[in-house]
Structure 1
Amino acid sequence: MSDVKKITVLVICFLITANLHSQILISILFGDKLNTDKMTFGLVLGPAWNNLTGYAESDAQTNFNLGIFLTFKLKERLFLQFDALAKYKLGAKGLPVYTLGDATLDSIYQHGSLQRSISYVGLNTSIQYRIWKYLNVEAGPVATLRTKAMDFLKADHELGEQVFEKDMKESTTLFDFGLATGTSWQFSKGKGLKLGVRYFWGLVDLYPADAGTNAARSFQVNLYIQIGGKKQTINGSNSNSK
């Protein structure tokens, strides 16, 4: 990898990623300061069902995603949201196995199954429009940086289930990019919890050496938890309300 590419990767890592512990710490320390009438900040978490295109057979792989979000109110019904993805996975299971180049291993796993799991950090940017009460629709790009990629070959054996792990980092693309669209409902009259569903449509072939275009697909359920925010007065009204 050239020096320019290395610097680019480091800059992207610095700008859009942080480890999980630091994100939680930021949420706790700065939640009150980052939640205003025009801005909302907090944690985003939830399950996802992922798959890959281009294979003769595959099943959805379930993962759990975690990150932080920052939402800006642009107009009365228009919002700009950034989801910094700290724990984000794509992949699939139930894929056809391939040869491992070892007669003993091939005899064990030839009738087994393959699970592919790719870990990322990244950024989901979405424009959100409130179409009715607190119901929002959204769309926008997703850019991610691969941190880990593993293949898990599994097979039943007389000694129990056998699992062979193979590092696929060099066989996958470093970056992934795609488009996401979805809808969400904001509870508590526009403040507090928000529950959303989102579909991600990957545009990058994640395994270039394999036949076809092996792009990611992901259906996600996201819970947005606001950290901090306005304090309540004794009579229950917002102390900073207009």
Structure 2
Amino acid sequence: MKKLLIISIFLLLSTFSEAQVLISLLLGDKLNSPNIEFGLEGGLNFSNINGFDNAGNLRSLNLGLYFDIRMKNNWFLHTGFQGMSSLGMRDLSSSDLEFLEADIYDVEGKYNQKVLAFMVPILANYKFDNHFYVEAGPQLGWLYDGWIAFTSDAEEKDWKIKDFNKEQFNWFNAGIAVGAGYKLLKGTGWSLGVRYYQGLTDVYKNRSKSLHHSLLLKVSVPIGVAKKPD
């Protein structure tokens, strides 16, 4: 687990750095103003789906863009999209696999459900004077692809098989998200935060209360330098 976290953080920081340089070269410092902050947001996501017997949360990297739009004083509208986002569940049981009509292989291995999603948070964000913030509001999603991933190292072979099952999903997902965090460098730098999402619509067409929930450990990186208010 510790090794996975270190590798995930390294990959995320590398992706952030490359994307930040590219966007800055294209648009310079024109993206940010005293009332709008734009940047990259992503992190390590732990997700699961209610109503199944799986053994744990699916870990994945999320990455997207965000906008913080000042509404009044310390109140902001936090929105954007998570374009590289996934949800799902890890270590499916035999009953889970039966419901999902998954292919079963004759070698020992693990079965994970992975769902690719395009998520849009629409959150009310309040920034305290000490640079902490809290946020809450609806989050909408489009489930556009998915598969059951079988992995194994049996028989001295590296097994990686995808059994696509997009047709089992409801394409629309919606729920409530709440979060909190802290903005570094006296409120002018990166933000570190956590966000919990509870889905209110079923992920699967044929299973009621198959609700997605996830915990995102996130980093927000503003692009360019925001100008200070007059």
**TM-score computed with the length of structure 1 as normaliser:** 0.76
Unpaired runs of 5+ residues, structure 2, are 1-17
Q: Does 1:225 align with 2:225?
A: no
Equivalent position to 2:205, from 204, 208, 211: 208
Larger CA Rg, structure 1 vs 2 = 1
Q: Hey, what's the Cα distance between the residues in 2 that align with 1:190 and 1:116? A: 39
Contact 1:108–1:157 (CA under 8 A) maintained in structure 2: no
Q: Hey, what's the Cα distance between the residues in 2 that align with 1:75 and 1:101? A: 51
Aligned CA distance change for structure 1 residues 113 and 38 (closer, same or farther; 3 Å): same
Identity %: 27
Q: Hey, what's the Cα distance between the residues in 1 that align with 2:19 and 2:106? A: 42
Task: Point out 4+ residue stretches in structure 1 off by more than 4 angstroms.
Answer: 21-28, 99-102
Q: Hey, what's the Cα distance between the residues in 1 that align with 2:21 and 2:198? A: 28
Q: Secondary structure at the match of 1:189?
A: helix
Contact 1:85–1:121 (CA under 8 A) maintained in structure 2: yes
Deviation at 1:64, TM superposition (A): 0.5
Deviation at 1:159, TM superposition (A): 4.8
Contact 1:122–1:143 (CA under 8 A) maintained in structure 2: yes
Aligned CA distance change for structure 1 residues 181 and 31 (closer, same or farther; 3 Å): farther
Deviation at 1:22, TM superposition (A): 9.6
Q: Does 1:192 align with 2:220?
A: no
Residue 122 of structure 1 is matched in structure 2 by 119
Deviation at 1:27, TM superposition (A): 5.8
Compare 150-159 and 121-130 and name the one that shifted more.
150-159
Q: CA RMSD in A?
A: 2.8
Q: Secondary structure at the match of 1:74?
A: strand
Residue 33 of structure 1 is matched in structure 2 by 30
Residue 140 of structure 1 is matched in structure 2 by 137
Equivalent position to 2:52, from 34, 55, 64: 55
Deviation at 1:30, TM superposition (A): 3.2
Residue 108 of structure 1 is matched in structure 2 by 106
Contact 2:109–2:154 (CA under 8 A) maintained in structure 1: no
| Cα deviation code 1:127-153 (max 9, x no counterpart) | 011245111111011111122111123
The aligned runs of 1:135-174 (5 Å cut-off) are 135-154=132-151, 157-160=154-157, 162-174=159-171
| Cα deviation code 1:9-40 (max 9, x no counterpart) | xxxxxxxxxxxx99985565335222111110
Q: Aligned pairs, how many?
A: 210
Residue 96 of structure 1 is matched in structure 2 by 93
Contact 2:37–2:69 (CA under 8 A) maintained in structure 1: yes
**TM-score computed with the length of structure 2 as normaliser:** 0.80
